[in-house]
Structure formats: C-alpha cells, structure tokens
Structure 1
Amino acid sequence: MRVFAAALATETNTFSPIAVDKRAFEASLYARPGEHPVTPTLCTAPITVGREVCAREGWLLIEGSASWADPAGLVARSTYEELRDEILGQLRAAMPVDGVVLGLHGAMVAQGYDDPEGDFLSRVRDIVGPDIVVCAELDPHSHLTRKRVAAADFFVAFKEFPHTDFVDRARDLWDIAVRAIKKEIAPVMSVFDCRMIDVFPTSKQPMRGFVDRLFALEKSTPGLLSLSVIHGFMAGDVPEMGTKVIAVTDNRAAEGAALAEKLGRELFDLRGTFMVSLVDEKAAVEAALAAPRGPVVIADVWDNPGGGTAGDATVVLAELIARGVTDVAVGTIWDPIAVQICMAAGEGAKIPLRFGAKSAPLTGDPIDKVVTVKRVVENAEMRFGESYAPFGDAAWISFDGIDVILNSTRAQSFDPSLFSAMGIDPQSRKILLIKSTNHFYDSFSKIAAEIIYCAAGKPYPNTPATTPYRKAPRDIWPMVENPWG
C-alpha cells in the first residue's frame, strides 16, 4: 500500500493585525518531504505517527511538505497558494496512492479564502478520485465547513484542551485509516451543529466529564469509530464559525447522526458554564500578593499568541510595576526590536529600553526602564508535550526585582521550560506572569501553588455577543439566547 501524508496548518485570528507570510511558516516549521523532525509539531503528528504505522504494516509512506505557522492574522494569498500547490504537486507525483492522511489545523483564513482547508481538501479529492481514503487530524479550535466534510472521509480532532493528546489522536486517525484502506470498515461522518460558540477547557468540569464520556462511548458503542467536538474559534470571522460534534461510524450514518445530536444538545444545555472564572489585572495582582507561597501563576489569557494576538500586552506587568511587586518572572513579551537591542548590547549590559505594547490598541503602554541584560539566547525553544515550540532569539532582562523574557518569535507560554531555557528557575519566583488561555495548565499546574486567570485589556475578541463580526453567523448563542426558537 502507498499512503501520502502532509501537513499545512495555522490558526487565523481575523482580527489580528499580524499578517502571515512564508517567513512565518519558516520561523515555526517548514519541512520539505523527508525533512520533518522526529518530534511532531502540534498539527504534524500524522506524519511522525505515519512513519511508525507504515513501518509496522510494511506500507510505503510518501511524505509531502509539512508547514505550521504560529497563530496570527490573515495568511497572504500567495503564501497559502504556494504551500497548497506544493503539496498538491507532490500528491500528483505520488499517484497512485491508497490513502491520504493529513495534518490540518482547521482555522486557517487566507486573503481571498474563508475556507482554505475546504479548498485544499476539495483539490486533494479531485486528484485522488472518489474511492481513495482521505482523512485529517484537526485542532478542535477550527471551523467545520460543509465543503471540507464533503471532501474528506473522516476527521479526528484533539479531545483535550490543553491539547496534550495530539499524538494520541493521530494514532486514532491512522488506526481508522489503516482499517479503511484494508476495506475492513467503511467510515462515514455524521455532524451536528450545536448553534453556539464557547470556550471548552478540559482541565475543569463540566468539559472534563464530557470528554471522559466520549472516550467511554468510543469503547462501548458498536460500530462507533470516533467522536470529536469541534469547539470552534471565536476569533475567526468566517461564515461557518461555531461548535460542532462529529461522530464517525462504520457505515452507520443514522446512528452516528442521532448520537452526535444527543451530545451536541447536551453541550448546548451547558453553554456558558465551561470557561474558568476571570478577574481583572488589579484583582489578579492582589490575589497573587495575598498567596502564602509561590509560585503563583497569573495567566494573561486573552493576550495569547496561541490565539493569534501579539503577546506584547503590558497591562498586567504595568500593574505589577505600579504596586512595586518584586520576585516576578514574566514569560514572555514579544518585541523583536528590543531583543535585537539587547543582543547588540550583550550580556551584563545596563541599558535604557522601551519594550512591549507595539502591536495594537487596548494592550497597554510601552514600558520604559533601565534594564540589565542578564542573558541572550539564539533560537530558544520550550517543551510542549512530546514536541518543542520555538520562541526565537530571546533576551532575559531584569529591573526593579522583575525579570522579563523578551522573544522574537511569538509563542504562548506552554511549559516552565520557557523560563529554564533562559536560565531562570521558575520555582524560585513568587509570581510567574505568562500568556496563554489554557495550554499552559498541564505543565504549569505541576509547579504552581495557585493559578489565577486574568482578563486584561482587549487584545482578543473574547465576547462573541458584541464582537463586530461581518461574516460569522448571528443566529447562534450567545448572539441570540435561543437559536432553536
């Protein structure tokens, strides 16, 4: 058997001012055929897992290119078309194939393309024809459009948020693909539109219990191959934004549809109860100061580069400075210019520096301080589960009892190794200020005495009822209270 695998992924915040071109992919991951590293990036696990599976089966894995850009704004049209056509050309050269297994994110938006993944999958289907297995792994923070459902045989999405299971779900994807290619099963997808948009962290109830039920149902329900919740991505202003449930069955479409609807209506009934409680920057700092011991993690949830923002907001840092708080480490503030200045000055230099709050309104004001450059690191990276996340050339600066990591490649704060990679012991600080909505939880919860979720400023469109969408549906919750009426 001959199976083709490739990856093309990013998450697009259509409200973000940060445009994405080919350089953004190259900064995060751009691997030509056969060049993908042993460890997967978030959306490229179908390639690394495919190597294991095809070796076991004695099949030929034909690798296409793998591209991943950290979330930001619209992808340049020419960049999307170049990366798309590169993979399509590789697929044509690989024909005939018995299957196509892809790593996608599902929330990419490019100039001129509201649904790049639907466009890409439709072109893949045109090349291989109607009888070849085409499937993909998706991030749940994606848009499940009718076009991509029509083009693919099945999708498997990560179940966990934080996405600690992307390798395990790639294995699920390949398990179904192998059985389908061997004609042992006939996968069909049933999709239910929940008519809502929400945030669903699995690190707390009620989503923790809901996802545990999905696992149990997969094991106990005859003919059920996979269940996925597409959370949706509220910062993507596209026509089919919203939460969906996917049931993949062995040729049992009606049973799959009934189960997807049952689960989807249960999710709708729990709407508004999933997200953690948030406090503003003043309450967050007050709570951190009151904590008897550290480290206390303050998560600046809406200035999250993993959601397409810049990661350069200074609202919480300014509050810490105003209160005279010390014993603080901040990871990170994105400021490539400040990093360049620090690298030129060198370790040990004491320099005046302006940093942060350059990208957009409502992210605070730049910070002006005389700082000591403690350390500079080229091509720094942190762990994220079984993979590594680059945060580029970086500088550790220190002033007034506060340590700040400045980075040149935007990345959310996945793991405490963000600090240790720069020479800072995160467990030695009373307060750690990080930028992430929930991906940080799995690793930081292991060292944190307390975690505070902070909503500061307005770098991210986090209130769908009042977000100025132009294309997204207006007949879903919370835009309307009862979309079923």
Structure 2
Amino acid sequence: MAIESSTFSPHRSGWEAFTLLRGNELVRRYPFLRDGAPLRREAEWVGVLRASAFPGGPVLTDVYESVRAEIGLALEAQGPFDGVLLDVHGAMSVLGYTDAEADLARAVRDAVGPDCLVAATMDVHGNVSRELARAVDLVSCHRTAAHEDDDEARERAATTLLRRVDHGGRPHKAWVQVPVLLPGERVSTRREPARGIYADVARVAELDGVLDASLWVGYAWADEPRCRAAVVVTGDEPDVLVREAGRLARRYWDARDELGPVAPAGTYEECLAAVLAGDARPFVLSDSGDNPMAGGAGDVTWTLARLLDEPVFALPPEAGGRTGIYASLPDAEAARTVADAGVGARVEVGAGARVDAAHHGPVTLRGVVEHVRTDDPVAGIVCVVAVGGLRVVLTERRRPYHLESDFTALGLDPRGTDVVVVKIGTLETELHDMAEDWMLMLTPGGVDQDLSRLGHHRLGGPVHPFSSPGSYDPEPELL
C-alpha cells in the first residue's frame, strides 16, 4: 500500500485516491517480473494486492484497515509462501495511526508466519522506525533523488529476497535513526553533498558480508515520531553492518548544514524578479508549497492570485509583456463550467481553494478558453484559459505536469513561453532538461519548504532543523 501523505494538508485520501491491482495484473506491473524476465522464471509469483495512490492528505482509517485486512486474508488463503515483497512508500499517514507502514508490516508477518522472509522496498523519502525494521527481514530504498531508479530499487529487493530464500536465510540488520528531517529538495543526488553520500551507500552495499545498504531522509511534511532520517545495513557480518551503519549515519549528520536546495530558492518576489531580469526561456518556477506529488492539496491559489495581478502578463510583447503557463489548478465545478462554455468562449469563473483555503481564497479567471479535453486519464476535464499572456491549466482532478508532452497535448508551447510555473518541488528529469533556468519558489501550502511555518510538535525529541539535538553519537542496533 503506497502513498505519500502530508499531515499538514486538509486533503483526505479515500477510496477514490487508490488504484487497486491484483493477481497477474499486479505481477506484470513490475518490469522485472514480466513474461521472459529472469526473475519471473525463478519463482512462482503471486499478486496479492497493491493499493497505490497519488500523494495527498492522510488516508481514511476504514480505507487503510480494509486494504490491510484483504492483504492479510489473501496471504493466509494463498500461502504458504517462501517470501513476500512488500512494496510501500514509507510516508503513508493514516488517521488514528502514527506508524502505518510498521502496522502493515506486522499484519503481513502475522499472516505469513515467522519462517517466511519479508522484504520491503521503499521510497528514499520514507520513514523507517525500529518497529518497521524489526517486522521485515530485508528493507531497502532508492539511491537517487529525483527518483530515477524506482524499478531498479524494487528489482534489487526482489533479487536479494530470492537469493536469501534459496540460500542464506534471514540476515542481520543494523538500524539507526539520525535526528535530521529535511525536505527531499535539500537532499538531491544531482548535487553534493547528497551525491557523494549516496555513492557511499552504494559502496557499502558491495562490501563483503553486506547484502544491502540504504539511507532514508524521512518525510518532512508529516508530524509523527518516526519522521527522521534512518540507515539500515543488511548482511551476514554483524560487526561490519554496525560499523558501516554508524559511519553512514555520522556522514549524513555531519552534512546536515551543507544540504541545501537543489536549485536557487527564493520568495515569489525574488523568483519573478529573476525571470524578468533575464532572457532564459523557458524559466521554470517550482510552486513548491502546494506540490501535489509531495502531498499538497493542489488547489492552493496563493501563487496564481499574484500572477493574475502582475501587469507584465497584461501587456503586449511589444510593450514588454511576458507570457506564462500555470499548471495547474484543480476545481471540478470550475472545470466543468469552462468545458461547457467551449473553446473560444470568454469566461469568468471562480476557481481553486476548495480543499485548502488557508492561504488564499478562490481566484477569478477572466479570459478566453483555448483548449478543452474531457477524457484525461488522471485529471478528467482539462481546460486552458488565456488571461492576457498567462495560460492557466484548469483541471477536474489533481494532476502533475512534468513532461513536455503534458503541455503540448494542450496546445501549449512551453519552450516558447517566458515562464512556466508548475506545482512541484525538484523538477522531474524531462522538465529539468527542458528548463533554460529554474528556481525553487518558497510558497505556502501543506508541503511548505519552510518547515518552521508548519508547526511540527510530535517528533518526540530534538530533530534538526527544528531544535538542536546537540551532539550526536550514532549507536546502530542489531535487529
């Protein structure tokens, strides 16, 4: 069960948020388990259940408990199993729970018994509590951010699981938490020191006596005691595991003040000034505080309201006017109204802030409808409204805009636009490559990069940068 959930978002993730896969459809979801793949031939793979969701707010209790119950009952009915591959994110928050993935892992363990090996594969932005680490036999995560090795990390976990089922059995694990909690945008492997730290993680994984090494940065937009960085080194040489887990934890701790934003960061005013001062095209601005791919509600209007008031988008090009794209603003009612008006119509419609109105209320879009699509598989209805030189993408449901084709499919030309504003944190690879320049815009929302504005109070002890833990001496535990 995989979702990234911000406890600071008013959004709630119900059944509508989840896509469910079972049986062979689930098995074929993984490239390394498709017909003809070597791992597919080495074992009989049974697809139990995968419930995955777009990031959002906390999961409703009954949804989580229903998924957990189905997984447990299916494992009991279809077993016995030699091994289980548990594919989770690590940042799922559930109403009424403080460590949902550990609870799910315990349910899996109860269903399959003590002899079955359980391997968990996770996102690098997840949280690994002692309880979760104890409930599984193998646990690993990505080694790149932004993520470029999702399937590689899952295949690594599946391969290790098979090898241990065939030979070697249950390994040892050295686990240690690090009292640091930073947004993932400050721990990007596109730059140092994170690049070097994760290269070291990969090096440790190749040592004699080590099966896998992983470092999680934690999930900064949840307020739970488990939220902090963690290291797990797995293998057969306890002394090596403890030594290397402690060394990686120390290296991450020592780098905490050097882990800065993945790109130049600034306020709205600073970012717009940078756009207007140069001629980079497109200049991409990341409206990071409401990033739906990190759990934001997606309909915060704080940035869009300011863009709509900017005179530069009302002026013609010959008078110094600029062009822009804003992607996107979800509002089902407004999207239906604009779609019904049709291409070419002049509309005036209130939109946004239906879920998260804490920072700004709905905005009024006064402009011409340039594009309508009613069958987007993720967003449903998608409309483009031209307000002067600004094109606003209005959607029925939350949807990320990370690929050039996401824009060109709407008749938009991002490469020929002065400024493209997207709701994201670190730019995904294609968007990053397309941008002639870009900045991380520090805006409010449920996934605010300025963690001090969110109000964490349940972390259970000093955690950098909220409070100083003072000295830190990593003491890995063998689990």
TM-score by length of structure 1 reads 0.89
Aligned residue in 1 for 2:368:
372
Are positions 1:421 and 2:409 aligned together?
yes
- The match for 1:246 among 206, 211, 232 is 232
Whether the 8 Å contact between 1:363 and 1:459 is mirrored in structure 2 is no
1:444 and 2:454 matched: no
Preserved CA contact (<8 Å) 2:8 2:446: no
Q: Cα offset for 1:458? A: 4.3
CA distance in 2, matches of 1:369, 1:56: 52
Equivalent in the alignment of 1:432: 420
Cα distance between partner residues in 2 of 1:37 and 1:171: 12
What corresponds to 1:269 in structure 2?
254
1:284-363 matches, cutoff 5 A: 284-324=271-311, 325=313, 326-363=322-359
Counterpart CA distance in 2 for 1:483 and 1:476 is 10
Code of the residue aligned with 2:372 in structure 1: it is V
* Contact 2:290/2:448 (8 A) holds in 1: no
Question: Is 1:156–1:173's contact at 8 Å kept on the other side of the alignment?
Answer: yes
Counterpart secondary structure, 1:371: strand
Q: Which amino acid aligns with 1:450?
A: D
Residue in 2 aligned with 1:43? none
Task: Check conservation: 1:353, 1:371, Cα contact below 8 A.
Answer: no
Equivalent pair of 2:11/2:356 in contact (CA under 8 Å): no
Which amino acid in structure 2 is aligned with residue 89 of structure 1? L
Aligned residues: 457
Which segment is superposed worse, 425-434 or 451-460? Answer: 451-460
Secondary structure of 2:151's counterpart equals: helix
Distance in 2 of aligned mates of 1:402 and 1:98: 57
Cα shift at 1:304: 0.6
CA distance in 2, matches of 1:154, 1:349: 58
| Aligned partner of residue 299 in structure 2, secondary structure | coil
**For residues 226 and 216 of structure 2, what CA distance do their matches in structure 1 show?**
12
Q: Deviation of residue 409 (structure 1)? A: 2.6
SS in structure 1 of the partner of residue 46 of structure 2: strand
Partner SS, residue 412 of structure 1: coil
Q: Distance in 2 between matches of 1:307 and 1:447?
A: 22
Deviations along 1:184-233, one digit per CA (max 9) or x if unpaired, are: 464332112111111312222211222122223333x1122222111111
Q: 1:35 aligns with which of 19, 25, 39?
A: 25
Q: How far is 1:31 from its partner? A: 2.2
> Mind listing any 5+ residue stretches in structure 2 that lack a counterpart?
314-321, 473-479
In structure 1, the partner of 2:12 is 19
**Cα distance, 1:379–1:206 mapped onto 2, change above 3 Å:** farther
For the aligned residue pairs, the C-alpha RMSD in angstroms reads: 2.1
1:298 to partner: Cα distance: 0.5
SS state of the match for residue 62, structure 1?
Answer: coil
Give the Cα–Cα distance (whole angstroms) in 2 for the partners of residues 85 and 54 of structure 1: 32
Q: Which amino acid aligns with 2:373?
A: V
1:97 matched residue in structure 2: 81
* 2:117 paired with 1:136: no
Going from structure 1 to structure 2, the CA distance change for 1:297 and 1:466 (only over 3 Å counts) comes to closer
Secondary structure, counterpart of 1:88 in structure 2: helix
Give the whole-Å Cα distance in 1 for the aligned partners of 2:417 and 2:382: 20
* Alignment map for 1:397-416 (pairs within 5 Å): 397-416=385-404
Distance 1:88 1:223 in 2: 33
Q: TM-score, normalised by structure 2?
A: 0.90
8 Å contact 1:32–1:64 — kept in the other structure?
Answer: yes
Contact 1:361–1:459, Cα closer than 8 Å, also in 2: no
**Percent of matched pairs sharing the same residue:** 25
**Contact between 1:203 and 1:441, CA under 8 Å: does it hold in 2?**
no
Distance change in 2, residues 1:195/1:183 (3 Å) = same
The whole-number CA distance in structure 1 between the counterparts of 2:271 and 2:450 is 20
Tell me the alpha carbon deviations over residues 139-171 of structure 1, each in whole angstroms, 9 at most, x when there is no partner: 122221122111100111111111121011011
Closer, same or farther in 2 for the Cα pair 1:401/1:418, shift >3 Å?
same
Counterparts in 2 of 1:33-72, with a 5 A limit?
A: 33-36=23-26, 40=29, 47-51=30-34, 56-72=40-56
What residue is the counterpart of 1:3 in the other structure?
none
Partner Cα separation in structure 2 for residue 461 and residue 426 of structure 1: 26
CA contact (8 A) 2:221 2:446 kept: no
- The CA deviation at 1:481 is 2.0
The CA deviation string for residues 67-86 of structure 1, in whole angstroms up to 9 with x for no partner, is 11112222111111111111
Aligned partners of 1:458, 1:170: CA distance in 2, in Å? Answer: 31
Cα distance in structure 1, aligned partners of 2:48 and 2:375: 25
Q: Distance in 2 between matches of 1:358 and 1:103?
A: 32
Residues in 2 aligned to 1:256 and 1:329: alpha-carbon distance in whole angstroms:
50
| Counterpart among 93, 118, 141 of residue 102 in structure 2 | 118
Task: Return the alpha-carbon distance in structure 1 between the equivalents of residues 457 and 413 of structure 2.
Answer: 45
Cα distance in 2 between the residues matched to 1:363 and 1:275:
26
Extract unaligned runs of 5+ from structure 1. 1-7, 41-46, 382-389
**Which one is further off, 313-322 or 366-375?**
313-322
Displacement of 1:464 in angstroms is: 4.2
Shift of residue 463 of structure 1? Answer: 4.0
Change (3 A) 1:120 1:328: same
- Aligned pair partner of 1:226 in 212, 226, 233: 212
